[in-house]
Amino acid sequence: MEATRLSSLCNRSHLCITSKLGEFKPTLAPSQCHSKVGVRVLRSQESWTSIQRRGALQQWRASAAQDLQSRWCCEFHDQYDVLVPYVDAWNWQKLRVEEKIAMLGRHEDAGDTLIILQHPPVYTLGTRSTEANLKFDANDPPFELHRTERGGEVTYHGPGQLVMYPILNLRHHKMDLHWYLRTLEEVVIGALYKACGIRAHRIDGLTGVWVDNQKVAAIGVRVSRWITYHGLALNVTTDLVPFSNIIPCGISDYSVTSVAKILENSDDLCDLSGGDAHSVLRLLRDCLLAEFEEKFSVHLVRPSNLSNASICV
């Protein structure tokens, strides 16, 4: 896999980096992702109409268009409706990080990269994770099991879960890991509200995003020379049964949930997105990307657009 540096400049002479995803062996999400999804807005939440949601997104787009000139370009790979094997995505991230660190060593600017995707069923452990949080034999797991270099404890990835891997040069933003984690949480909190009117929140002392004390999004990252990788996972239409095989994130006092579970038994979401799970995923994907651009002050640009233009905006 090769990466091709653009000779052109992007936004105030910041270089954009492009790369190929030829090593991925993607699988389309299973047909079960096209089943009907009913949703119910909790009594403690306000139900948004489709007009309100469209208005919120339109307002964001108008605001974003006004300040693109001051934003960093972020190379964007959209695989949100593809099941990318975990090891392929993991290796791809590490290669991108190595490339950016090499650029820093040559005193070149290392730009930002983002990929959004889904994974086939897989369990992952963080660097210091303990196997005590597994409810199965690590030598005979029900799905693939990988120990990674990210922070955090064990978690599950699977179809219906949107995973974002930002590979950011925090020199462009803020060299503060605490700030970075809180900003990722803000991306999810904002996206859930814009998409569904869900009022999500943090819990002091814990990393992730919660709705009524149930975890809807997990976050685990690694930073090397201020280059980030790994990222966040939002349960949208995810089957939650595989979480019962682990103590998610090593926290036994709280359960996990999904957007579909929070909003079940109502016609509200169907009115917004057509009702099938694929449309729900697309809606959340759109709002996650909108929030990511806003919270990190970046402009997402696909590699094909980068290669065809000398200036990114």
| Residues with catalytic function | 249
Which residues are registered as beta bridge partners of 78? 116
Q: Are 58 and 129 in contact (CB under 8 A)?
A: no
Q: Are 232 and 163 in contact (CB under 8 A)?
A: yes
**Phi, psi for residue 74 in degrees, rounded to 5:** -125, 115
Residue 237 CA to residue 30 CA, distance in Å, equals 12
Helix/strand/coil percent split, the chain, to 5: 35, 25, 35
- Residue 118's Cβ-count burial label (10 Å; 0-12, 13-18, 19+) is buried
Residue 302 CA to residue 24 CA, distance in Å, equals 17
